[in-house]
């Protein structure tokens, strides 16, 4: 299955006598049917309107070695009809055009190995300043565009329009383009929107263009995919699913599915009545020899402080606090270097802080602490749920909580009061 999904037909020989085939059949399934048969039914799950595509998420933002390049090999094993992205493909930043070109050459070298088309969507690392934006325009031209495949509209947008727009913005020209593309394709059976930042979570969303696009989307069936936060979440807006994807090699603490921190591709099967969505974790995709693909992809190097595994316990009026987010921030008194860690409290109020990766603990030092407990974690509109704790605990300047980790310490305790 490459660019066109083959349509299976069923030709059934009934007790060696009569055969029939589904209209429009190209490839028959032939099988002998008797009074009792070892199958459920013969309605093959291969509707001509169905197709499958994959979405890769953030590759950069302190990207990790050998992840995205191996994802390419694994996509070739999965064989979607095409691959799309939600942006952040290079590290970008304040670099020379030559340095940016080298990063794009590296990335393009990976996606050129795909056996199917790859559709680019820009992220803030790709077009987030004037220089990176200029390089994108020179190499790839448009920062927003659309295409239609098998009656499905794919609307690819730029959430950094203009460059450096913070939590995201779509300028007037792009909003007008998106509105016209939707009007010109009013008869499609579904619309897929691909954008980097979850602009709908901005507190001043009416100034950022997304609500105008959302208004144009409202009367049709659609699904939205974004990235940027490096943590998987599902939102529901206007009765439609909005998916914030995790990472495909981007910076992540990689604490697992429970935390929404994992490397994956989104696998979407487009059925006649809408998309069927599945998270495919990269480590689960192996070839028939169970080999991990070879890779020379280097990760972004950074200086990490030595961490020490510790266990924290949080109480609220003497009772273990469950499902709270605990933030710890520190500063080196001599160098003024800053770092932070976080953790989530379990059923007994305990947490395992993470600074860099997967419950690695925290460096020695004094930490200002914040604690927030949201119920629910997210509202249907994508914004944070209400905090159940006194507001003072949500900010380091007002929480009044400090912990110090010294060599040999294995546990700390936090007591909150109403």
Q: How confident is the model at residue 302 (pLDDT cuts 50, 70, 90)?
A: confident
Give φ, ψ of 242 to 5 degrees: -120, 125
The per-residue pLDDT for 383 is 74
Residue 289 in any domain: the answer is no
Which percentage of the chain shows pLDDT scores above 70?
Answer: 93
Give the position of tokens 């905090």: 387
How do residues 16-25 score in pLDDT, each as one tens digit?
Answer: 333 444 444 4
Q: How confident is the model at residue 4 (pLDDT cuts 50, 70, 90)?
A: very low
The per-residue pLDDT for 126 is 98
Both 226 and 264 in a single domain?
Answer: yes
CB-based contact 211:237 (threshold 8 Å)? no
Q: What residues are paired with 384 via a beta bridge?
A: 378
Distance of alpha carbon 269 from alpha carbon 11, whole angstroms: 25
DSSP string of 184-242? HTTT-SEEEEE-SS-GGG-TTGGGSSHHHHHHHHTTS-EEEEE-SSSS-EEEEETTEEE
CA dihedral 406, 410, 413, 414 (to 10 degrees): 70
Domain count along the chain: 3
Mean pLDDT of 226-243: 95
Both 328 and 211 in a single domain?
Answer: no
Both 230 and 81 in a single domain?
Answer: yes
Residue 322 in any domain: the answer is yes
Both 372 and 230 in a single domain?
Answer: no
Mean pLDDT of 210-214: 97
Burial class of 314 by CB neighbour count within 10 A (0 to 12, 13 to 18, 19+): buried
Q: At CA 131, angle to CA 130 and CA 132, rounded to 5? A: 100
The per-residue pLDDT for 101 is 97
- CATH number of the domain residue 366 falls in: 2.60.40
The per-residue pLDDT for 129 is 96
- Pairing of the two strands 240-244 and 233-237: antiparallel
Three-state SS string across 79-116, please?
Answer: CCCCEEECCCCCCCCCCCHHHHHHHHHHHHHHHCCCCC
Peptide bond into 162 cis (omega under 30): yes
The per-residue pLDDT for 192 is 98
Nearest to 207 by CA among 155, 165, 145, 158: 165
Both 355 and 252 in a single domain?
Answer: no
pLDDT at residue 295 is higher than 80: yes
Mean pLDDT of 286-301: 93
Both 39 and 63 in a single domain?
Answer: no
The per-residue pLDDT for 78 is 98
Residue 169 in any domain: the answer is yes
Distance of alpha carbon 392 from alpha carbon 398, whole angstroms: 5
Both 124 and 256 in a single domain?
Answer: yes
DSSP string of 351-395? E--BSSSTT-BB-SEEEEEEEE-BSSSB-TTSSBPPB-S-GGGGS
The per-residue pLDDT for 26 is 55
Predicted model pTM: 0.88
Residue 298 in any domain: the answer is no
Both 27 and 164 in a single domain?
Answer: no
Mean pLDDT of 307-318: 96
Both 77 and 218 in a single domain?
Answer: yes
Mean pLDDT of 278-284: 97
The per-residue pLDDT for 310 is 96
Tally Cβ neighbours within 10 Å of residue 37. Answer: 11
Both 229 and 329 in a single domain?
Answer: no
CB-based contact 9:21 (threshold 8 Å)? yes
Mean pLDDT of 234-253: 95
User: Mean pLDDT, the chain, as a whole number?
Assistant: 92
Residue 297 in any domain: the answer is no
Both 203 and 275 in a single domain?
Answer: yes
Distance of alpha carbon 326 from alpha carbon 276, whole angstroms: 35
Lowest mean pLDDT among 129-143, 285-299, 380-394: 380-394
Distance of alpha carbon 340 from alpha carbon 409, whole angstroms: 18
- CATH number of the domain residue 61 falls in: 3.60.21.10
Residue 389 in any domain: the answer is yes
The per-residue pLDDT for 14 is 38
CA distances from 102 to 67, 85, 92, 347 (A): 19, 20, 10, 48
pLDDT at residue 402 is higher than 80: yes
Tell me which residue range forms the domain holding 383.
311-416
Residue 80 in any domain: the answer is yes
The per-residue pLDDT for 28 is 77
pLDDT at residue 223 is higher than 90: yes
pLDDT at residue 3 is higher than 90: no
How do residues 249-274 score in pLDDT, each as one tens digit?
Answer: 999 999 999 999 999 999 999 999 99
Give φ, ψ of 172 to 5 degrees: -55, -45
How do residues 343-371 score in pLDDT, each as one tens digit?
Answer: 999 999 999 999 999 999 999 999 999 99
How do residues 113-135 score in pLDDT, each as one tens digit?
Answer: 999 999 999 999 999 999 999 99
CB-based contact 55:245 (threshold 8 Å)? yes
The per-residue pLDDT for 20 is 40
Residue 304 in any domain: the answer is no
CB-based contact 172:206 (threshold 8 Å)? no
Both 180 and 138 in a single domain?
Answer: yes
């Amino acid at each position: 299955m490459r660019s066109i999904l083959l349509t299976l037909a069923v030709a059934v020989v009934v007790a060696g006598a009569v055969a029939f085939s589904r209209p429009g059949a190209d490839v028959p399934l032939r099988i002998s049917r008797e009074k009792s048969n070892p199958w459920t039914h013969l309605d093959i799950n291969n509707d001509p309107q169905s197709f499958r595509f994959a979405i890769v998420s953030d590759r950069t933002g302190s990207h990790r070695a050998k992840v995205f390049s191996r994802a390419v090999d694994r996509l070739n094993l999965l064989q979607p009809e095409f691959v799309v992205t939600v942006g952040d493909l290079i590290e970008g930043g304040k670099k020379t055009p030559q340095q940016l070109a080298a990063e794009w050459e590296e990335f393009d070298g990976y996606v050129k190995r795909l056996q199917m088309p790859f559709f680019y969507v820009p992220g803030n690392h790709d077009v987030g300043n004037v220089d990176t934006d200029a390089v994108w325009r020179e190499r790839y031209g448009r920062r927003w565009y659309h295409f239609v495949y098998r009656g499905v509209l794919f609307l690819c947008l730029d959430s950094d329009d203009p460059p450096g727009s913070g939590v995201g913005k779509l300028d007037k020209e792009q909003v007008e383009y998106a509105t016209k593309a939707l009007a010109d394709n009013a008869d499609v059976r579904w619309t897929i929107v691909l954008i980097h930042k979850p602009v709908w979570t901005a507190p001043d969303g009416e100034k950022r263009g997304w609500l105008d696009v959302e208004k144009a989307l409202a009367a049709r069936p659609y699904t939205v995919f974004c990235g940027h936060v490096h943590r998987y979440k599902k939102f529901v807006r206007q009765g439609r699913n909005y998916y914030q994807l995790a990472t495909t090699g981007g910076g992540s603490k990689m604490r697992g599915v429970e935390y929404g921190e994992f490397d994956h591709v989104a696998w979407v099967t487009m059925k006649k009545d809408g998309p069927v969505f599945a998270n495919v974790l990269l480590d689960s995709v192996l070839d028939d020899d169970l080999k991990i693909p070879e890779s020379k992809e280097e990760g972004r190097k950074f200086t990490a402080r030595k961490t020490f595994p510790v266990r924290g316990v949080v109480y609220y009026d003497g009772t273990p606090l469950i499902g709270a987010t605990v933030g710890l921030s520190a500063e080196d008194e001599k160098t003024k270097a800053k770092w932070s860690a976080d953790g989530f409290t379990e059923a007994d109020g305990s947490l395992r802080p993470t600074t860099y990766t997967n419950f690695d603990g925290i460096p020695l030092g004094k930490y200002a602490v914040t604690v927030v407990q949201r119920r629910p974690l997210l509202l249907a509109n994508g914004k944070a749920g209400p905090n159940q704790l006194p507001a003072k605990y949500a900010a380091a300047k007002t929480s009044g909580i400090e912990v110090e980790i010294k060599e040999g310490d294995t546990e700390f305790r936090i007591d909150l009061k109403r």
